[in-house]
Amino acid sequence: MQTMSDLKVQLCPGLAAALAEGIHWDSRRQRLFWVDILHPWLYWFEPATASTGRLALSQPGCWLLGTDSPALLIGMSRSIGLLDPETGKVRELPQVQLQTEPAGNRLNDGGADLQGRLWFGTMDNAEQTPSGQLYRWDQRGLHTVDTGYVVTNGPVFTQDGQFLYHASSSSREVYRFALSQTGELVQKQIFIRFSEAQGFPDGMALDADGGLWVAQWRGYGISRFDRNGHLTRTIALPVSNVTNLAFAGPDLRQLFVTTAQAGLTPMELQQQPAAGRLFRLELEIPGVQVPAVKLSSLALPDSPSDAKSQACDCNGLGLVAADATAEKN
């Protein structure tokens, strides 16, 4: 195992978030987007120009994913919507309101598989009860595929589409499932078990060699595990609460990492002035582009073209500060 505490970790310009999550590389716009689970802000960063800013949302988001339209898909506390990142406007999709979830549950993380199906997890917002579930949303509707989570994180999918990785953060475990072509999960097994010193597994991303990168909440860094679940690299960060990560840039060799101020004591906040900020690392192994959600793969009442046209009017060139609530640094 190689510890890379000496690897250059760059602090990106921009504002700190209370609980940054859902980081997404938008190759169409060449921008990173992420949300703050505790506040209604959409953050963005453009690696090529180092420009950054944030845009007001109607409610806080939990995760972001690309789609086969100019819109992004956003998971909110108990619903999912189509987001126009130019304006911050969201059109909620009434098909996913999670009426069957306990009142104290919310969405936490999401991903897309190679077929463009949406996968997302829920969690107990008090982080006490294993009431969280893992869902799959496809043309057949919304399906519960696994249960018993206090805090869900992930999911991510291998390049060949054969496996899904998903974390039970409070249990310090990352699971691997075999994935069928029709989206059924079998052969659940513990792939990684974190030690107390490693913290809790949070967001995840895959590189082109099949390495699984995992953010470490309360773990002061990120770690890489090979195809067999063996730890191969740890990269230290100057903040303890590391939340998520995404490969970005034209060749996907830049790894961006989100962090949080939430959960820190006043003393820890003083000791970690960069908490809640975005970090960048240059890696020799490129990442894997996260698949886009295919709107035609979801059980929507509108046709895919209608969903796209109603969702947003995007020019694909970048954000436009459409109102006084938009900020740019």
Task: Quote the CA–CA distance of 259 and 277 in Å, as a whole number.
Answer: 6
Q: Which 3 state secondary structure label does DSSP give 193?
A: strand
Q: Is 202 a catalytic residue?
A: yes
Side-chain-side CA neighbours of residue 152 (13 Å): 31
Amino acid letter for position 309: S
Both tokens of 302, joined, read: 């509108």
CA–CA dist 81, 163 (Å, integer): 27
CB 92 within 8 A of CB 107: no
What DSSP character marks residue 241?
B
- The closest of 241, 292, 282, 281 to 37, measured between CA atoms, is 241
Helix (H/G/I), strand (E/B), else coil: 281: strand
Report yes or no: 254 and 10 within 8 Å, Cβ to Cβ. no
Own/partner pairs for 208-216, CB < 8 Å, 24+ apart? 208/159, 208/252, 208/285, 208/286, 208/287, 208/288, 209/285, 210/158, 210/159, 211/285, 212/156, 212/165, 212/174, 213/245, 213/255, 214/167, 214/174, 215/242, 215/243, 215/244, 215/245, 215/257, 215/258, 216/242
- For the chain, how big is the Rg over CA atoms in Å? 18
Annotated active-site residue in 202, 251, 302, 306: 202
Which residues are catalytically annotated? 202
